[in-house]
Amino acid sequence: MDNAAPPQHIAIIMDGNGRWAKKRGLPRTAGHAAGAESFRRIANYCRTLGVRYLTVYAFSTENWKRSADEVAGIMRLLGRYLREALADMEKNRVCFRFFGDLTKLSPELQKLCHDAESLSADYDVQVNFCLNYGGRDEIVRAASNFAADVAAGKYRPEELTEELLSQYMYSRDIPDPELIIRPSGELRTSNFLLWQSAYSEYVFMNVLWPDFSPQDLDQAIEEYHRRNRRFGGT
């Protein structure tokens, strides 16, 4: 870690909030509140390390299946965080981007997201929040939008390349994540960044997200640097 630069783009599946709360006899919403504080801690640490992009899985397209109380609690936490972020925008100077279909959110939350994006657009360090996001949904939307452009005469079908389709993704114009971290002990991708993760290095860690510390991030980055990234070559 002393001499190795961190990955330019780190992505994290923030998993384990509910189990963290259950272990302590607390409601699941308390776990999400603790997870929000863990995000603040890790986001600040990433900036200290010099990480250029941080992408976090905040709420998936499947998370709507959870109880109405839990979903409402998550949305309240998101609103509180965004209002605080907007108040501190000039001090923190972090660019906000949102990956996902925001139209399913309340009008108030949609406005907070759009305000955060527009007011922070010129800042360098970028945090991408995957909100009402699913990797398969993103690919379907990209293909649909390309098809619409073909119908409008902008492209011919045979002009489609990986590079062109990437421009239809929420992550257009930013590099794919080199490192994806999943805390909580689960060993699956859960529909996260399916397109972008083709050659990402995954590190799975047996720590619940609210307990995830800067030392855990250091450990994941150390593991990343031990990998031999061949991108299909030898």
Instruction: Tell me which residues are annotated as active site.
Output: 15, 63
The residue whose two tokens read 């992550």 is 171
Neighbours of 1 (CB within 10 A): 11
**136 vs 138: CA distance, rounded Å:** 5
In the chain, the N- to C-terminal Cα span, in Å, equals: 26
The residue whose two tokens read 């489609």 is 160
Neighbours of 52 (CB within 10 A): 16
**192 vs 55: CA distance, rounded Å:** 10
Dig out the tokens for 232 from the structure: 């299909």
